[in-house]
Chains A and B, each alone.
Chain A
């Protein structure tokens, strides 16, 4: 079973609108971390936001916020006021602390976001 599922291969959003990128995860580890990364066409991986499994509040970083629903095992990324520069691939990832691969970051397959002027 996939540990990280991103069900939207591609999405379009109008400039200045908000957009939600979906991410669901699967783990039996009580302690885990969820990350979102942005990959523009230039290829580098840019860290956006982090949410810990024990964090009481949803994480926010500027225009990025994470809608964390622990019971549903979802960690959706919300981008407010989309800009043309937000056009990129977005990856959800999870780090677990148990098992042989301790601290391994497991990635979803990504969502390609296109911002329309």
Chain B
């Protein structure tokens, strides 16, 4: 079954304690990205990756890091979480096609609900 998995699904942590949210896809997609969702703001992109070892900032990258060492994995790292990073996080992936890349559906993971106290 084609899917994007995220772990953990729920996490409560304290300010400053480093954490990693894992993301993995089994569709051999080139493009992966992280979003955060906050009430009234929709989804905003944090980071994205066009392929292995190629990552770039999205609209709200401050306080986050990512890496793409393997095509299937795209972990999100919070080195020193703060309460304003309390949010619902989604990982997503899509394939890139020559000239038709815009048409491909983006597959989303189930979401990770993070609370930073």
> Is B45's CB under 8 angstroms from A103's CB?
no
Question: For the complex, what is the distance from the CA of A52 to the CA of B102, rounded to whole Å?
Answer: 8
Q: Mark A84-105, 1 if CB is under 8 A from B, else 0.
A: 0000000101011100111111
> Is B102's CB under 8 angstroms from A107's CB?
no
Known: A44-B111, A103-B31, A104-B48. A95 touches B88 (CB 8 A): no
> Is B41's CB under 8 angstroms from A96's CB?
no
> Is A45's CB under 8 angstroms from B40's CB?
no
> Is A103's CB under 8 angstroms from B96's CB?
yes
Chain B residues touching A, majority SS: strand
Interface set, chain B 71-117, CB cutoff 8 A to A:
88, 90, 92, 94, 96, 101-103, 105-108, 110-111, 113
Q: Which residues of B contact A (CB under 8 A)?
A: 31, 33, 35, 40-45, 48, 50, 56, 58, 88, 90, 92, 94, 96, 101-103, 105-108, 110-111, 113
Q: What 4 new A-B contacts, CB under 8 Å, besides A52-B103, A102-B101? A: A31-B102, A43-B113, A103-B31, A108-B42
